Amino acid sequence: MHPGSRKSWSQPPGQPSAKSAPATGMSFVAIQDSQKHQSVKDVRSFREIQEEEQSLQLEADFLKWWTAEEERIKYEALALIESESALNQPPNLSHRKGRSKRRGTGRNSKARVPAEGSSR
């Protein structure tokens, strides 16, 4: 140990080991009662904090669900509008290329040529 150093748990000489509280005129019993009431209040406030946090969590969960529902409804409405507009549009005839209005004369029909010597 160094000559001028002291152990960390010892007090320097001449100072009291515990700081004394200034006299407030309260008795020891009154201080104990005050602390009991304070601790009950602390427990209640802790409970209130827990209830508030639970309430905030429920609100956050609800807002998350609400946002998801809004998105789902928005996409369903868009899909409904698209399907209605597709039903109201005239049919696109460009995909019917190669078909003829007369039956049996189109690309995919088998040409019926009367056989030689038939009465048709």
Q: What is the pLDDT of residues 36-77, one digit of tens each?
A: 777 655 556 888 999 999 999 999 999 999 999 999 999 999
Tell whether 6 is covered by a domain.
no
106 neighbors 98 (Cβ within 8 angstroms): yes
Q: What global pTM score does this model have?
A: 0.36
Range of the domain at 42: 29-89
Q: What angle do CA 21, 22, 25 make, to 5 degrees?
A: 110
In this prediction, residue 9 carries a pLDDT of: 58
Tell whether 7 is covered by a domain.
no
Spatial distance between the Cα atoms of 22 and 34, rounded to a whole number of angstroms: 17
Tell whether 98 is covered by a domain.
no
17 neighbors 11 (Cβ within 8 angstroms): yes
In this prediction, residue 75 carries a pLDDT of: 96
The closest alpha carbon to 64, from 52, 76, 56, 75, belongs to: 56
Tell whether 35 is covered by a domain.
yes
Tell whether 103 is covered by a domain.
no
Spatial distance between the Cα atoms of 74 and 83, rounded to a whole number of angstroms: 14
Spatial distance between the Cα atoms of 71 and 95, rounded to a whole number of angstroms: 35
Domain count, the chain: 1
